[in-house]
Structure 1
Amino acid sequence: MNAAPSDLAIRTRGLSKRFGGRAAVDRIDLSVPRGSVFGFLGPNGSGKTTTIRMLLGLIEASDGEIDVLGHEVPRGLHRVLPRVGALVEGPAFYPFLSGTANLRRLDSADSFAVRSTRNARIGAAIDRVGLSHAASKKVHAYSLGMKQRLGIAHALGDAHNLLVLDEPTNGLDPQGTREVRSLIRSLAGEGTTVFVSSHLLAEIEQMCTHAAIMSSGRLVAQGTLDELRQAGTARIRLETPDDAPARRVLASLGLEVAPSGASGGPGDFADFGGSVTAAVSADVAPETIVASLVEAGVRVRGFEVRSESLEDRFVELTGEGFNVAG
């Protein structure tokens, strides 16, 4: 990602955090465009939450630079924090206070919050996350999904330039998930940059414009979702009765042909009788492959190209599975 620093809501260079001799975050260069919905992906223990804590000034970096909304962190936190809303590692509330009372108490503890607009802001935030019907109910009676919504309402607070959400759809039913997804999109449409850390890959694919993938403390990929998918390997499946000649043609084009009867890695087609599968490099067009096969006398009865999904790309980069169902 080659955006100018002024076009970035978050920018890090060589950012590292060590705990004793262990590097939890190892020299990452993160670039989050302004106005994007940016998905932050990675297995448990990959360094996502540690990175978020450094971005918000909750812990100090061991090395590197952090720039948030044009200001250096932590030196410029007093200018950054009034413009940032955050929900990190799940919401925590006073159980015997109502949802509204909890938000008032949290807002009053915020030295940057404007007291004169408190009631209006809290009412608008509660309404926006769909909790108006339960605003006066004590939080101990809230479901997990309702508590998550209340946490998002607190993060919304005043008008923010950047919203940092850690697992924003945790505990929500399908309808609530759709509503939060729509809320995040509407915030981005109004110019807010939304930074979303999540283990729900399907949600990242539906709500985000950009993403970064962490693995063992390192940033292994970042870009738009299309860029991340296209950086992977596409695969073809050819249906033909001419197995041996087809394999020779594909090999002559420099394609990596799967062994007969094999089913490859994530995103591969199962190789069953009468089919040949192969990995396709970006510099070999599918029409070139088909033309070469026909020219060689190979009978082409079916031809399909499959690009990698974001899940395929994740597994390829991290070597780990991903919880796509939640």
Structure 2
Amino acid sequence: MAVDGVDLAVPRGSVFGFLGPNGSGKTTTIRMLLGLVAANAGDARVLGVDMPRHVDAVLPRVGALVEGPAFSPYLSGAANLRRFDAADRHAPRRSRDHRVAEALDRVGLSHAARKRVHAYSLGMKQRLGIANALLMRRELLVLDEPTNGLDPQGTREVRALIRSFADDGTTVFVSSHLLAEVEQVCTHVGVMSAGRLVAQGTLDDFRDEGEARVRVRTPDVASAREALAGLLGDGAIEADALADPDGAVTARLGGTAPEAVVAALVGAGVRVRGFETVHASLEQRFVELTGEGFDVVQ
């Protein structure tokens, strides 16, 4: 996927969620930032250093899991990590076994350290890839779909790991299409669409920039829909009859003040049992910005 106009800024110490539909250019951008592919225009700085000009100075400070882990299938998990560690000229040989054991323990693979990787599940291989990124202390961790193939328990463990990295002062860059995971762990987000960066900022600001909505709980769902449509337009109504004994109607506010909505409902004789103003969810903002779901970018 060709990328263009990606003016990306990742604050130090943040957990940055890099979002976009499949094929939107996320992995291509990551590969350029890490010096794995060359850009034909523009420049990039990673940890304040020009890339790829100074790749030898930057990469030892970066741990990465990009496009899934690749290991020798007939070596054990521990043997694979020792092999990768030996290839790092900055890794001290004397502490290798200790660091391998510590990395395996941190991702919950101590019990499978001696098992050959061909017998690992996809989720175990994913954890082993994260362990490889942890062999040396890193200032930046780049994780491309880190929960791919993990069961719910494994997903929670990786989520806790990411938080612990940030607590230790590491900047974490997470590429993902799992919005629920991003909402739970990230402090900042950027959204790619068709090769371009269409938005970035803190998670809270990102959601607040979306179109506000009102949610009305009422036994008079039909009357509430009619009153809201009259005030906001038919196209503003989003949902009704939610799994709620009172029923509910959700509508986009546009530029209308919430108090005007309340007045319209009361004026129409709607019995209001609950009223709240909510900002767009991460998923709603994503769809607003990209105009599509996660699987359709050609």
Gap runs ≥5 in structure 1? 1-22, 251-255
* 1:178 corresponds to 2:151: no
Mapped partners of 2:114, 2:229: distance in 1? 69
Summarize the alignment of residues 221-260 of structure 1 with structure 2, pairs less than 5 Å apart.
221-237=199-215, 241=223, 250=231, 256-258=232-234
What is the Cα-based RMSD across aligned positions, in Å? 2.4
* 1:75 corresponds to 2:53: yes
Which residue number corresponds to residue 66 of structure 2? Answer: 88
Q: Secondary structure at the match of 1:28?
A: coil
Structure 1 residue 109: Cα displacement: 1.2
Summarize the alignment of residues 48-197 of structure 1 with structure 2, pairs less than 5 Å apart.
48-197=26-175
Which residue number corresponds to residue 252 of structure 2? Answer: 279
Mapped partners of 2:83, 2:250: distance in 1? 61
Which residue number corresponds to residue 318 of structure 1? Answer: 290
Which residue number corresponds to residue 269 of structure 1? Answer: 239
Which residue number corresponds to residue 277 of structure 2? Answer: 305
Mapped partners of 2:204, 2:228: distance in 1? 31
Are 1:258 and 1:276, in contact at CA under 8 Å, matched by a contact in 2?
A: no
Are 1:201 and 1:322, in contact at CA under 8 Å, matched by a contact in 2?
A: no
Which residue number corresponds to residue 204 of structure 1? Answer: 182
TM-score, length-normalised on structure 1?
0.80
Cα separation, partners in 2 of 1:138 and 1:220, compared to 1, 3 Å: same
Mapped partners of 2:287, 2:136: distance in 1? 38
Cα separation, partners in 2 of 1:286 and 1:74, compared to 1, 3 Å: same
Structure 1 residue 156: Cα displacement: 1.1
Mapped partners of 1:77, 1:118: distance in 2? 24
Gap runs ≥5 in structure 2? none
Structure 1 residue 307: Cα displacement: 2.6
Structure 1 residue 175: Cα displacement: 0.8
Are 2:227 and 2:264, in contact at CA under 8 Å, matched by a contact in 1?
A: no
Structure 1 residue 288: Cα displacement: 4.7
Cα separation, partners in 2 of 1:243 and 1:30, compared to 1, 3 Å: closer
Q: Secondary structure at the match of 2:156?
A: helix
Cα separation, partners in 2 of 1:52 and 1:188, compared to 1, 3 Å: same
Larger CA deviation: 70-79 vs 97-106: 70-79
Q: Secondary structure at the match of 1:25?
A: coil
Are 2:228 and 2:261, in contact at CA under 8 Å, matched by a contact in 1?
A: no
Are 1:247 and 1:257, in contact at CA under 8 Å, matched by a contact in 2?
A: yes
Structure 1 residue 131: Cα displacement: 0.6
Q: Which has the higher contact order (CA 8 A, sep 6+)?
A: 2
Q: Percent identity?
A: 66
Q: Deviations over 1:278-316 (max 9, x none)?
A: 4224x654235424665xx33242244343211111111
Q: Secondary structure at the match of 2:280?
A: coil
Structure 1 residue 83: Cα displacement: 0.6
Mapped partners of 2:57, 2:50: distance in 1? 9
Q: Deviations over 1:166-189 (max 9, x none)?
A: 111111111111111001001101
Which residue number corresponds to residue 7 of structure 2? Answer: 29
State the AA in 2 paired with 1:279.
R
Which residue number corresponds to residue 262 of structure 2? Answer: 290
Structure 1 residue 247: Cα displacement: 5.1
Are 1:210 and 1:224, in contact at CA under 8 Å, matched by a contact in 2?
A: yes
Q: Secondary structure at the match of 1:229?
A: helix
Mapped partners of 2:285, 2:40: distance in 1? 30
Mapped partners of 1:167, 1:308: distance in 2? 24
Cα separation, partners in 2 of 1:243 and 1:188, compared to 1, 3 Å: closer
Q: Secondary structure at the match of 1:30?
A: coil
State the AA in 1 paired with 2:240.
A
Q: More strand per residue: 1 or 2?
A: 1
Mapped partners of 1:102, 1:198: distance in 2? 26
Cα separation, partners in 2 of 1:277 and 1:85, compared to 1, 3 Å: closer
TM-score, length-normalised on structure 2?
0.87
State the AA in 1 paired with 2:160.
S
